[in-house]
Amino acid sequence: MFSRRNRILLRELVVTDFKLRYQGSVLGYLWSLLKPLLLFAIMYVVFVHFLRFGKGLEHFAVSFLFGIILWTFFLEATSQGMQAIVGRGDLIRKINFPKYIIVISATISALINLLLNLIVVFVFALIDGVDFHWSALLFPINLLELYGLALALAFLLSAMFVKFRDISHIWDVLMQGIFYATPIFYPLQMVIQYNLLAAKLLMLSPIAVIIQDSRYNAITHTDTITASQIIHSPWALILPHVIVLLLIVVASLYFKRSQKHFAENI
């Protein structure tokens, strides 16, 4: 699948993507750290300081930042992956190579940003006195599932975007809705107090499950509610993970079928 030639091409595309993203910027690569931190600062002041979301919850500020970091990766990976094929149209028309490499390179660029930002989260966690549990060793599994979900959507969206450019606008709207339907800047406890059924429906979303499981494993067990604590049906508990697997299969097949027409449709 990955010959030496393909590995070299993937590496060069990742390096090029990373360089072009901050070309002409005064702060350069620092923006990969500053963007989620600035978003966190704004939302922290509004939702935590003024609206008092998460009051009394252990390490809520760190969990909040952690959620923002994971969401930012998901947003970047899917959005950049969606436009990857069209953005490399000239290269596709000139060189014959596996097209999936372009999409993977876009998601790896986002993954590099995520890994850098996780260092910042770790520093904040130490300052806030987070007592790490052995379950932190399970976080790489959560991260792998998050990357698999983002990559699957990137494959699906990139193939669709070649023919239907309206997909980008639709996806922007969907991402806004998914963001507010995911317990990132508000604790799941708030939803449970208002409506338990609504909380259960929120936790059928793969991205919500991954973020909550990541917080539980990496930050705190005390005030992080996972799907297994409010959903008692084993079928409902595995549904988000089944959705991820189905997306990977469907996206791979759709991308493979569509890639032969990329050059003529771009």
Query: In the prediction, which pLDDT does 89 show?
Result: 78
Query: In the prediction, which pLDDT does 9 show?
Result: 80
Amino acid making up residue 157: L
Query: In the prediction, which pLDDT does 169 show?
Result: 93
Query: In the prediction, which pLDDT does 261 show?
Result: 79
pLDDT block averages, 10 residues each, the chain of length 266: 74 76 58 71 72 75 90 94 87 81 91 88 86 91 97 96 91 94 91 92 96 94 90 94 96 92 75
Q: What are phi and psi of 52, to 5 degrees?
A: 65, 30
Query: In the prediction, which pLDDT does 192 show?
Result: 93
Query: In the prediction, which pLDDT does 206 show?
Result: 97
Euclidean distance between CA atoms 203 and 237, whole angstroms: 9
Give the chain's length.
Answer: 266
Query: In the prediction, which pLDDT does 13 show?
Result: 83
Euclidean distance between CA atoms 27 and 33, whole angstroms: 10
The DSSP line for 4-49 is HHHHHHHHHHHHHHHHHHTTT-SSGGGHHHHHHHHHHHHHIIIIII
Euclidean distance between CA atoms 97 and 75, whole angstroms: 27
